[in-house]
Amino acid sequence: MKGLWLVAIVVAVAVLGAVIDAQSRVPVRHAEIPAEPSRVLAVGRVEGATREIELRTQLLGRIVAVPVREGQEVHEGDVLLQLDDAQYRFEVAQAEAELVQAQAQLERLVAGARSEERRQSAAKHRAKLAELERAELAWKRVRELQGARAVSPQEADDQRTAVAALAAEVEAAKAAADLLEAPPRDDEVRLHKARVAAAQARLELAKVQLQRCSLRAPIRGQVLRVDAEPGELTGPEAPQPVIILADTSRFRVRAFVEEYDAPRLAVGLPARVTADGLPGREFPGRVASLSPHMSRKELWSDRPAERFDTKTREIWIDLDQASGLVVGLRVDVVIDLNPAPPLATETQP
């Protein structure tokens, strides 16, 4: 009897253990691979046809005029800001004078001496020849008298040295006349031409520095920001640009796509742009270009689930119409990865 009870207890324990084990096991469920989403969400910013161009002066100087205001349309080459240019105007005037002087010296060298100078030099040569001839005749008479002991040795020496001195003066006058008649040497011409070229270069440099006193618009566009006042000191190392300019003839959106979605984009995909400040409005467009590399994230949507440590791929979207949008406005972008094919047009038989 006891054996039957023992067997019954063992069987009951085994059944209870099997039930507990079955209930404690968690069924294994294999994760299903989610299908790729059919759209990409991104945050973006409205830009003009070009990015915002930050302008600073190329020279350090005092601002004397700011002839533009924010929102003004300007053309390429228009003056946006003017620095004090008095010093550079004087440098241009000095360089111009140096160039005129160098050119005059070259022209004088090439043209040679004036005819009056040539005649004067020839006359001096003839005069020295006449003096030499008179001295030689006197020396001849002195030698004759010297033989008769009619002159002293001192007088004879004086006359002889006078003839030698006059002969040297005649030679010098002849050399001076020949120099005025001779053409300029090649090395002298090259030297004076080099001086003219150096003076011309100094003048061009001075003009460039003078032009840099005027900050001009590099493109046709709209002045987005002016951070300059007459009297302020500014320069190329200024912490803030004095003028910000952009081409607003048309608008684009620069969007930042997360890493996961970046490889699945392509040029031509349709996109829709919305802005918090324009509820109920959508701005259709298409992906116009894609950045060839990933970069650090520059713009955030402030959503709770947003990641701040990811890299993004920049894309540019051309908008079909952008009425109401302004440069710098933050927008949300939806890109359709599976656009519907265009409707087939019926052809008449």
Residues 172 and 103 in one domain: yes
Residues 239 and 258 in one domain: no
Residues 308 and 201 in one domain: no
Lowest mean pLDDT among 142-151, 202-211, 332-341: 142-151
| Helices and strands per DSSP (H, E), number in the chain | 5, 14
* Rounded distance between C-alpha atoms, residue 28 and residue 114, angstroms: 114
CATH number of the domain enclosing 325: 2.40.30.170
Mean pLDDT of the region 294-323? 76
* DSSP state letter for 226: E
Report yes or no on 78 lying in a domain.
yes
CATH number of the domain enclosing 71: 2.40.50.100
User: Higher pLDDT residue, 170 or 326?
Assistant: 326
User: Higher pLDDT residue, 317 or 131?
Assistant: 317
Residues 198 and 158 in one domain: yes
Checking if the pLDDT of 221 tops 50, the result is yes
At residue 201 the predicted structure's pLDDT band, cuts being 50, 70 and 90, is: very high
Structural domain that includes position 237: 61-84+216-245
* Rounded distance between C-alpha atoms, residue 82 and residue 216, angstroms: 9
Residues 44 and 74 in one domain: no
Report yes or no on 26 lying in a domain.
no
Residues 146 and 241 in one domain: no
Checking if the pLDDT of 68 tops 70, the result is yes
Checking if the pLDDT of 289 tops 60, the result is yes
Residues 175 and 237 in one domain: no
The fraction of the chain above a pLDDT of 90, given in percent, is 42
Residues 224 and 196 in one domain: no
Report yes or no on 10 lying in a domain.
no
pLDDT reported for residue 139: 72
Report yes or no on 173 lying in a domain.
yes
